Amino acid sequence: MLGMVAEEAMEFEERVRFGPVTGSAADTDPAKWLADRLGRVASAAWADGATGRPILVPAPMAALANANTAVACDAAVRRTTMCQQEFCLMFSDAAFAGETVDCSSRVARLRKAGFRVGIDMRQSWHTALSESLRLMIDTIRVDADALEASPDLQELVMIARESGILVVADNANWRDGEFLEETGVAGAIAPRTDA
């Protein structure tokens, strides 16, 4: 069910800006930045012979709001040997948490292009999983330590599981597998062993 996670050292939001000299169109356009990242991920997956799918790709919040993101990412993937369904674009919980934000229409653009969409809830978990959003989200990524400490997050994970959303945990220990499974977690990223 779970493939791989594609992470890079630098995220879009982490780039430093000191004026027009340091900025370029590629760096300031989140749609192009994400499309370029998908191209790099596809190239690396092909070069390594990696077969795990879907590939969870962290995506900048600004790309979700950009109307050109779905088109740019679709075009980038079409230039590779992969297809859109092999990628799950993981957006931060903060991109969905605002009450005035129409998440459904933003996610629908990416879904229409064929991409899977997920929510990264490792830092916060304030997204209200409305019925329309539950139908469009494929994966939720949570922190296992936070899950153990928060009944609210446990309830959210159970709702996600009952809606058919794949829940993946970071910082999970193998010894906690039974608890995680009962809570609704279906996979783990690099689970830890007891040393």
Instruction: Give the model confidence (pLDDT) of 72-123 as tens digits.
Output: 999 999 999 999 999 999 999 988 876 555 777 889 999 999 999 999 999 8
- CA distance linking residue 124 with residue 55, whole number of Å: 22
Grade residue 144 by pLDDT with cuts at 50, 70 and 90: very high
Q: Which residues pair with 167 in a beta bridge?
A: 140
Quick one: average pLDDT of 40-69? 90
Contacts for 42 with CB less than 8 Å, ≥ 6 apart: 77, 80, 81, 82
- CA distance linking residue 108 with residue 34, whole number of Å: 17
**What pLDDT is attached to residue 25?**
46
CATH annotation of 29-189: 3.20.20.450
Domain ranges of the chain: 29-189
Quick one: average pLDDT of 141-159? 93
- Coil vs helix vs strand at 70: helix
Of 8-17, 111-120, 172-181, where does the model show the most confidence? 111-120
Q: Is the pLDDT of residue 51 over 60?
A: yes
Of 21-25, 97-101, 180-184, where does the model show the most confidence? 180-184
Grade residue 19 by pLDDT with cuts at 50, 70 and 90: low
**What pLDDT is attached to residue 23?**
52
CA distances 132 to 113, 148, 180, Å, are 18, 28, 26
Q: What is the mean pLDDT of the chain?
A: 86
